[in-house]
Amino acid sequence: MGNILVWIAVILIVLWLVGYLGFGEAVGSFIHILLVIAVIVILVRVIRGAV
């Protein structure tokens, strides 16, 4: 399960970069929210020591 969360975080970061660089405000804002969720998941894993 842990590897799945890491892959989801990586995919969300890539999608955020694509949206931020290429598709303007609407898609970029949505993907930015997904990025924030991905960062929260990574922080929870670091705090739990499950990196």
pLDDT of 32-51, one tens digit each?
777 788 888 888 888 888 55
Count of domains in the chain?
1
Distances (CA, A) of 30 to 22, 23, 51: 13, 11, 27
In the chain, where does DSSP find H-type helix?
2-22, 24-48
pLDDT of 20-35, one tens digit each?
676 666 666 776 777 7
> What is the pTM (predicted TM-score) of this model?
0.47
* Residue 27 belongs to domain spanning: 2-48
